[in-house]
A and B are shown apart, each in its own frame.
Chain A
């Protein structure tokens, strides 16, 4: 059974560019979470969806960040415009019951 799939695995971009991160949750899971991990701040929740509906986006740092979940098998996190302080590892996780399963992450570097 495939786990959570994230793409791309690595992204290097220049300041000001638009970045789109993608996530495919585990089939049958109805909750999806986006987290960001940095050395300074650790792992932080950005936003999560239940049944494709955004429930809590209070962790989204600024209006430059947006997330969508158009259907049960796909979600995107977009940063526009990107800034060097957005450099981090972005994780997607999904769940059906009490356990959140994490993807391998997207390592984003903004130059």
Chain B
């Protein structure tokens, strides 16, 4: 079993819909949780960063972490065609991810239909 599981999709939704992306993990040592967005043939870029359990909101994006269930989510409200990309969840055990290697899910390919 991989440490981090993520449905690869593709997930196709109409413009304006609410999108829900999820990951599960098996290692209870993970403390820092991130969501990266990756456009085709580009490097990943950080979208959201959370520590431990709870919610964090940034504009149209909301990240949720439930450590008891080992489950994290990313919600995108009012989805736009420009949100079409691959979304990768990532986790680390310590140092806030900055000085510690990240463990990634395989990514979910999201398509927003105009």
Query: Contact residues of A with B, CB < 8 Å?
Result: 4, 30-31, 33, 35, 41-45, 48, 50, 56, 59, 91, 93, 95-105
The range of chain B's interface size is 20 to 34
A44 touches B98 (CB 8 A): no
Does B63 sit at the interface, judged by CB under 8 A?
A: no
Work out how many contacts link A and B, with CB atoms closer than 8 A: 60
B98 touches A97 (CB 8 A): yes
Tell me whether A99 and B88 are in contact in the complex, defined as CB-CB below 8 angstroms, given that A91-B43, A104-B43 are known contacts. no
Tell me whether A98 and B88 are in contact in the complex, defined as CB-CB below 8 angstroms, given that A45-B103, A91-B43 are known contacts. no
Does B17 sit at the interface, judged by CB under 8 A?
A: no
Whole-angstrom CA separation of A100 from B46 in the bound complex: 8
A97 touches B43 (CB 8 A): no
Tell me whether A33 and B101 are in contact in the complex, defined as CB-CB below 8 angstroms, given that A43-B107, A97-B96, A98-B96 are known contacts. yes
Q: List 30 A-B contacts (CB under 8 A).
A: A4-B43, A31-B99, A35-B104, A42-B88, A42-B104, A43-B88, A43-B106, A44-B104, A45-B101, A45-B102, A48-B100, A91-B43, A91-B44, A93-B43, A95-B97, A96-B98, A98-B32, A98-B96, A99-B46, A99-B97, A99-B98, A100-B46, A100-B97, A100-B98, A100-B102, A101-B46, A103-B43, A104-B43, A105-B41, A105-B42
Q: Which residues of chain A are within 8 angstroms of B88 by Cβ–Cβ distance? A: 42-43
Q: Which residues of chain B are within 8 angstroms of A97 by Cβ–Cβ distance? A: 96, 98
Interface centre among A4, A30, A35 (most CB of B within 10 A): A35
Give min CB distance, A108 to chain B, whole Å: 14
Q: Which residues of chain A are within 8 angstroms of B45 by Cβ–Cβ distance? A: 101-102
Tell me whether A98 and B44 are in contact in the complex, defined as CB-CB below 8 angstroms, given that A42-B106, A43-B104, A43-B107 are known contacts. no
Give min CB distance, B24 to chain A, whole Å: 15
B43 touches which of A30, A31, A105 (Cβ 8 Å): A105
Give min CB distance, B30 to chain A, whole Å: 14
Give min CB distance, B88 to chain A, whole Å: 6
A31 touches B98 (CB 8 A): yes
A98 touches which of B42, B97, B101 (Cβ 8 Å): B97
